[in-house]
Amino acid sequence: MLWCRVWAFVWKRGAIARHEVSAGGACLLRESYIRRSVVSMSNSSLHPTRETERRRVLVTGAALRIGRALALGFASRGWDVAVHCNESEDAARTVAQQIVALGSRSIVLRADLEKEEEVAELIPKCVKSLGRLDCVVNCASRFEEDTAQTFGFPLLNKLMAINLAAPVLLARALYESIPTGAVDDETKRGVVINVLDQKLFNMNPDYLSYTATKAALGNATVALAQALAPKVRVVGLAPGLTLVSGEQTDEQFEYAHRRTPLGRGSRLEDIVEAAIYLAGARGVTGTTLVVDGGQHLVSNHRDVMYLQPHSSRNTIS
């Protein structure tokens, strides 16, 4: 079975290192959590489509973490996948090898999303290597701490380029690559999935510039859905806390992950299944699907990164 091969690759090669740097900065991973998620995904409904239904997707930030899971998830459904990366090229090549082992085609595309000229080249390169794209998943983002007291133009401008400008440019480029026949034939239409954050529905003052740029992308999702219809649908996908990040401890992660109405936050397989649904939901555009176990329904004084077990400062009264 194809997912058995995915599992074999992940277990044998240890494709995700504990410390790697993505477009979002330094991220601390826990291999055991990744393995549990991949095992669960292997039991889901993610199975390959027929060759005649094969489609093509570009996933930005696909070398690591959620982007990696999305790339493998689409491949497991028979999609050919363009794996975008910036600094993590070795990890991206490992992901591409796993995709090929699943029976799909893959290419690795390196681009700095802060540079407009490099962003502009991504979709033409995809089309040249794989054929016409059907979907772009804007997963890559930069995540750095600042507050109202430490806010400044340099960080905001950097995050705006990666978290907002690049996704908008890629949406436009996908639109331009879709044939005019898609106006009357919805089977030829494309879709953009912007990965957002449940925080947009549950605000707190931490990570001010990051939050502002994700909020801007959320609003751009609605505007683009209007501007690019009917050739391209544009939707948002807002996960909650999914993987250990930064200096967060295992205890903090487990506490925050359980602190939801469903007793657990988002898992990799949840995000993959949601993305697959959105990619095929031809009647859905201009809206955001929140996949977080209900985390956005629990008001917190601080970002989930900082929640402490047994602290009275976690909840806003």
Split the chain (317 residues) into runs of 10 and give each run's mean pLDDT. Answer: 46 38 38 44 42 82 98 98 97 98 98 98 97 97 94 97 98 97 97 97 94 98 98 97 84 86 94 98 98 90 72 45
Residue 72 near residue 13, CB atoms below 8 Å: no
Residue 64 near residue 27, CB atoms below 8 Å: yes
Six token digits for residue 2: 């194809």
Element (H, E) at 195: strand 190-195
| pLDDT in the model for residue 310 | 58
| pLDDT in the model for residue 11 | 41
Bridge partners (DSSP) listed for residue 59? 83, 137
Element (H, E) at 26: strand 25-28
Q: Are strands 19-22 and 25-28 parallel, antiparallel or unpaired?
A: antiparallel
| pLDDT in the model for residue 53 | 64
* CA dihedral over 165, 167, 170, 176, signed as positive or negative: negative
> 231 in helix, strand or coil?
coil
Write the DSSP assignment of 210-227 as a string of letters.
HHHHHHHHHHHHHHHHHH
| pLDDT in the model for residue 299 | 82
Structural domains in the chain plus CATH codes: 2-306 (3.40.50.720)
**Diameter of the chain measured on Cα atoms:** 58
Q: How far apart are CA 156 and CA 212, in angstroms?
A: 9
Q: Enumerate residues 6+ apart whose C-beta is below 8 A from 226.
A: 286
pTM for the whole thing? 0.82
Q: How far apart are CA 35 and CA 16, in angstroms?
A: 10
Bridge partners (DSSP) listed for residue 292? none
The one-character DSSP state at 134 is -
Measured distance between the N- and C-terminal CA atoms of the chain, rounded to whole angstroms = 50
Residue 141 near residue 214, CB atoms below 8 Å: yes
